[in-house]
Amino acid sequence: MPMDGRHLSQLLDAAADRRPDHPAVEDEHGRVLTFAELHRGADRLAARLSRWGAERGDRIGLWLPKSLEAVTAIHGILKAGAAYVPADPTGPATRAAGIFAAAGVKAVATTAKLAPALHQAWDAQEFHGPAPRLILVDDGAGIDSLAPGDALWSEIMADDALSPLPPPRDADDLAYILFTSGSTGKPKGVMLTHANAFTFIDWCQDALGPWRDDDRFSSHAPLHFDLSIFDLYVACRNAATLVLIGESLAKEPAALADYIEARRIRVWYSAPSILAMMTEHGRLDRDGFPAPRIVLFAGEVFPIAPLRRLRRLWPEARFWNLYGPTETNVCTAHPIPDTIADDRTEPFPIGTVCPPLEGRVVDEEGRTLPPGTLGELVIAGAGVMRGYFGQPELTDAAFFVADDGRRWYRTGDLVIDDGAGCHQFHGRRDRMVKKRGYRIELGEIESALYRNEGVDRAAVVAQSDDSGVSISAFVALKADAKKSLIAMKRHCSVYLPNYMIPDTITFLNSLPATSTDKIDYQKLKAMAAEEGSTP
C-alpha cells in the first residue's frame, strides 16, 4: 500500500524505526551503516544544510564515488527538503561543473581529490554566480581545499548540536534532477518530484514483490543513472540491505559474479550488457552458485542469445524486462518466461504499461494508431517528469496536449502494440542511443568534437549487435591540423564522460555528403559496419 505523506524522507524514517540495527548499506570494503546510523547521519547533514539556508526546492550537488557517505548525503539532502543533483564522479570536471551551474546548486558534496578540478572548471567556464560551497567527505587530505563556508564531513557527523529538523512533506517538491545527454551539446536536467518517485516505488512494491526480510539489493547503477532509484528506495522501503558496487567493480564481469556470491545478493538490477558479460565470463555455471531470486534489467535491448543462456543458468530466478526513459523511470514491463524457446530469435517485448501510468501509440500528429501499427509510444500519469530544469521550451517540445487537455510525454521510441497492450520496441525516432543503459545523444558527441579547433567537420554514428552498441566518430580536419587519435580521444575526455567517448575515431579527408551537402549518415554507417567486420 502507498505510504502517507508522499515524501522520500519518510522511507528512511520508517526503516530506522522498524529495523534500527539492521544493515542498511554495505560497501565493497566491508564497511556497514545500520539504519539507525544512516538515519542519524542524514539528520545531521540535513540540519547543516538548513543552517546554510537550504530550503524546499533548492538543489544540492553530489560528485562522489559510490560510498556510504554518498548514500547518507542523498538521504540528508532529501531530509533538508532539497533536491539532489548527482554528476558522474568518473567524468570530466567541466561536465560536472556545467551540470551544477545549470541546476544552480547551493552546495556540492565531493572529495578532496575531486574538489580542485571542480574549482578550476568553475573558474574556467566563468559561470554566473558564486561557486557552491563544498562538503569534503575524505576529511584530512582536503583541508587546504576548503573555502570559507565549506565544511568537513567528519565535523558534520560528529556535531551532536546539529539537531534534526522535521522534514517537509510536499509530494510536488523536487526530489532529484538527473542530467541526461542532450542533442544540443549540453546535458538536460530531468526534474523528478517525490510524487513521481513514489509512483514508481509503489508499482515496484506491488508488481515485483513479495519482498523478504533477508533480501539484499545490488547497487550496480551509478547514482546519476535512473536505475539507481530502484536500488536506493525500494531497498529502503523494505528495510533491506543495499550492497554498493563501485564504479570499477561494476565493469568487471568475473569479479561481479564473485561479488554476488560473496555478498549474497538476492535482488539484481542492471543494464542487460553487464548480465550478458557475466554470462560469458562470470563462471555462473559453478556448483552451488547462489543465483539472485529477482533479476531486473533495463536501459537497452537484451539480445536473445545471451538472455537464453542466463535464463538456463538461473532457472529459479524471476526475470523482468523493464523499460522507460529517465523522464518516466520505468513505464512498461514484461516478465520473462521460465523457458525461452530455442527457435526464438527476437528480443522480448518491453511489455505493458505500468499502472497508474497510461500509454498510447500515436502518429506524428498525436493521433492514436490501431494495434499492429508502428508509432511513437507516449506516456501520461503521475510518474512523468515535471520538465527539464531551466529549459521551458525543451519541456514544451517533449509533450503534446490532447484534446481533453491531458499532457502526454513523447518518449521518441517506436513501438507496435500487439492488440493486448503489449509493446514491441522498434528503435528511435531521433539520434539517441542506449549504451550499457546510458542514454547518449550522438549530437552531443559531435558537439564535443567541434570544440576542437582542428576539426572542420565531424559526424557520429552507432551500430548494435549481440555484444552491444558501438559508437564510431568520423572527423575531417582543417588543412593545418595534425591527425592524432590519442589527442582526439584526450580532447573528448575533457568534455564527455567515459561512456560517451567514441569506440573508434576515423580521420577522413572529407565526410560523405548528400546532394544537398548534408552529411550522408547512411554511408558512414556502412563504413562503420565494414570497419567493425574487418579482422
Main-chain phi, psi angles of 516, to 5 degrees: -100, 15
On the question of pLDDT at 228 being above 80, the answer is yes
Q: Which three cell numbers stand for residue 52?
A: 546554510
pLDDT at 426: 84
| Residue that wins the pLDDT comparison between 432 and 191 | 191
Measured CA to CA, the distance from residue 81 to residue 294 in angstroms comes to 33
Which residues 6+ apart lie within 8 Å of 315 measured at CB?
338
Report how far apart, in Å, the C-alpha atoms of 432 and of each of 333, 337, 435 are.
21, 30, 10
Q: pTM for the full model?
A: 0.86
Question: β-strands 432-435, 504-508: how paired?
Answer: unpaired
pLDDT at 447: 78
Domain 349-428 sits in CATH at 2.30.38.10
- Region 389-409: what's the mean pLDDT? 94
88-97, 118-127, 279-288, 315-324: lowest mean pLDDT where?
A: 118-127
Q: Specify the CATH architecture of the domain 9-201.
A: 3-Layer(aba) Sandwich (3.40)
Would you list the domain boundaries of the chain? 9-201, 349-428, 440-533
pLDDT at 394: 94
On the question of pLDDT at 8 being above 70, the answer is yes
Please name which of 183, 269, 215, 176 lies closest in space to residue 22, comparing C-alpha atoms. Answer: 215
pLDDT at 141: 54
- Region 276-290: what's the mean pLDDT? 94
pLDDT at 460: 92
Task: Return the number of other C-beta atoms located less than 10 Å from residue 44's C-beta.
Answer: 24
- Residue 1: which pLDDT band, with cuts at 50, 70 and 90? very low
- Region 434-462: what's the mean pLDDT? 85
Instruction: Report the topology of domain 440-533.
Output: GMP Synthetase; Chain A, domain 3 (3.30.300)
Measured CA to CA, the distance from residue 405 to residue 209 in angstroms comes to 35
Identity of the amino acid at 110: T
- Residue 4: which pLDDT band, with cuts at 50, 70 and 90? very low
- Region 98-121: what's the mean pLDDT? 93
| Residue that wins the pLDDT comparison between 519 and 180 | 180
Greatest mean pLDDT among 63-67, 461-465, 516-520 lies in: 63-67
Give me Rg for the CA atoms of the chain: 23
- E strands along 215-351, which residues? 216-219, 241-244, 267-270, 294-297, 318-323, 332-336
